[in-house]
Amino acid sequence: MASHYGKRRAAALDDGGHDYLLRRRDIMQAAGRVFKGKGLAATNVTDIAHEAGIDRATLYYYFGSKEEIFEEVVGNAVEANTIRAEALRAGDDPVPEKIRQLIVELMESYAEHYPFLYVFIQENLAQLGKIRPDWAQEMRQLNRRYEEALVGILTAGIADGSLTTSGDPKILAYGLLGMLGWTNRWFNPAESAQTATEIGTTFADSFLTGLARSAAPTA
């Protein structure tokens, strides 16, 4: 049976009340700050309520648990990024342009959903799987789909000659994702002198400089 708070949350979400949705967003942002500082496992509902300036009872009106907050933000973002990567792979743009868009858009997603995706990178899915196995399995599947889309893009570029490398596309993909994921150590969109778009563009330029085929010199 749904809890009293669960019923109220469902009714408020169905109603789409503007103030309710804004307060949920504020709580998500507060939770993200706590998750970033303490990690998901060490965070409790009281920590989040304190950071959001509310009591535990009020928080439960908006969310059923800390996991619900984390899973809602991360799940939606990871799914959206995966669908976008698959669309880029299936599109008609040249491979270097697909790679550029993927890099820039992933950095923009890190900024938009800061710091949730970074916390997700830092967390151990094996540990999350012990607590929320269905959700962890879904995230693993989305991660695999994203990696497959990126590997597919790189493989196509090697095959059509637009990328000048004979390296293993999987290694290139993991290197690229590692470069982007490492930004969790230093990028904060509220403090950075460069925007996520600027950082993504810099990474894309650097990555593609070593792979994109130069035009033949003119006479």
Domains of the chain: 4-62 (1.10.10.60), 66-209 (1.10.357.10)
Q: Dump pLDDT digits (tens) for 3-60.
A: 554 555 566 666 657 788 889 999 999 999 999 999 888 999 999 999 999 999 999 9
Query: Cβ contacts of residue 178 below 8 Å, gap of 6+?
Result: none
How are the residues of the chain apportioned to helix, strand and coil, as percentages rounded to the nearest 5? 75, 0, 25
Q: Dump pLDDT digits (tens) for 108-164.
A: 999 999 999 999 998 877 777 777 889 889 999 999 999 999 999 999 999 999 998
Task: Say what angle helices 66-90 and 133-160 make with each other, to 10 degrees.
Answer: 20
Instruction: Note whether 40 and 69 are within 8 A (CB).
Output: no
What pTM was estimated for this model as a whole? 0.84
39: left (phi over 0), alpha (psi -120 to 50) or beta: left
- Judge whether residue 166 has pLDDT over 70: yes
- The pLDDT value recorded for residue 146 is 98
- The pLDDT value recorded for residue 55 is 95
Dist CA 89 CA 213 (whole Å): 19
- The pLDDT value recorded for residue 17 is 72
Q: CA nearest 180: which of 128, 90, 111, 94?
A: 111
User: 16: burial class by Cβ within 10 Å (0-12, 13-18, 19+)?
Assistant: exposed
Output phi, psi for 212, to 5 deg.
-70, 135
Q: CA nearest 200: which of 181, 185, 180, 186?
A: 180
> What SS3 class is residue 92?
coil
Query: Cβ contacts of residue 61 below 8 Å, gap of 6+?
Result: 5, 8, 9, 12
Instruction: Note whether 32 and 119 are within 8 A (CB).
Output: yes
Cα angle, residue 88 at apex, residues 82 and 90 outer, rounded to 5°: 105
DSSP string, 104-151: HHHHHHHHHTTTHHHHHHHS-HHHHHHH-HHHHHHHHHHHHHHHHHHH
